[in-house]
Amino acid sequence: MGGIREAVAADAAAIGEVAGAALVLDAAEAPRLVARLSDPPPDRRWTALVTGDLDAVLFASMSTRDGSVGHIDLLAVDPAAQGRGRGRALVAAAEEWLRAQGAAEARFAGNPPCYAWPGIDVRSTAAACLAESRGYERYNVAWNMTADLSADLSTEADVLRLADRGVTVRAAGPGDRAAVLDFVREQWNENWAWEAEQASGCHYASRDGEILGFAAWGARPAWFGPMGTAPAARGLGVGRVLLRRCLAEQRDAGQASAQISWVGPLGFYSRAVGAHAERVFWLYRRDLR
């Protein structure tokens, strides 16, 4: 295994290969996940730890919302090296790094706004067993919904209906993305604004120069979200149109399905695009004191 060390820029390609081989549930996105975690918001304290022979990697970060909480964001061990204690050693090293940063608690849970998953996929038995063997306890559950992008995602009739009520729906280009980000910050929070800024695609609705809602996709590679509508837009059907326009872009980008992440309102997504609950994640934590 060699000694554990912090990754350097020259390790990027090898880390992407390890992630692609190990993350079988997200293999196609693995290199992009590594790239995303390697370029978080500027105020994030984070590290990537690797084994000396580059057959395992772990990303860890500190929460910017709660300075006493640290996160294990991604752990990947090359299949040829699994069962040799590499994952356990990396988690132990990450916990020491988090303690040095002031963390009193470590979590196997997503660190918004730059995350790989909400937690440990319930199908990842080895990862869950490793967490529990290190004293982590489950404290929450999160789930994604899957949208089939071959379904009807048309919006023409809805766009015309909204236009009759003075509402315009459009893609957020370079000239108006800043206004959308200001709207997101005002209505929600800086985390969502960062995701909207990083997103591959973003659409918004407005009336008389006032933004009413937005939806984005691709801040977390290949996934949909975040999205939201202002109170003034509730009941107009704005969210359904914005959702469908984003999903149509994902389909045009070559995706057959899309993950709607960290879902709250199951009913809305089910009605709007026939999405169904599928991926479930356990969130784990342990005291580091």
Q: Rounded mean pLDDT of 111-128? A: 97
Same domain as 108, residue 19: yes
Q: Provide the domain count of the chain.
A: 2
Q: Rounded mean pLDDT of 100-116? A: 98
Locus of tokens 């809305």 = 268
Q: Rounded mean pLDDT of 159-175? A: 95
- H or E element: which one contains 169? strand 168-171
Residue at 101 is within a domain: yes
Strand 257-260 relative to strand 223-229, pairing:
parallel
CA distance 261 to 251: 17
Mapping DSSP onto H, E and C, the string for 237-252 reads CHHHHHHHHHHHHHHH
Residue at 264 is within a domain: no
Residue at 170 is within a domain: yes
pLDDT given at position 232: 87
Domain that holds residue 45: 4-140
Contact 23, 66 (CB under 8 A): no
The structure tokens listed for 8 are 């350097």
Query: Would you call 91 exposed, middle or buried from its count of C-beta atoms within 10 A (0-12, 13-18, 19+)?
Result: buried
Choosing from 140, 173, 199, the residue where a domain stops is 140
Same domain as 245, residue 157: yes
pLDDT given at position 234: 85
- The yes-or-no verdict on residue 142 having pLDDT over 70 is yes
Which tens digits make up the pLDDT trace of 40-68? 999 999 999 999 999 999 999 999 999 99
Residue at 266 is within a domain: no
Same domain as 160, residue 211: yes
Contact 196, 214 (CB under 8 A): yes
Indicate which CATH number applies to the domain containing 38.
3.40.630.30
pLDDT given at position 1: 61
- The yes-or-no verdict on residue 32 having pLDDT over 70 is yes
Residue 264: pLDDT band (50, 70, 90) is confident
Report pTM.
0.94
Residue at 272 is within a domain: no
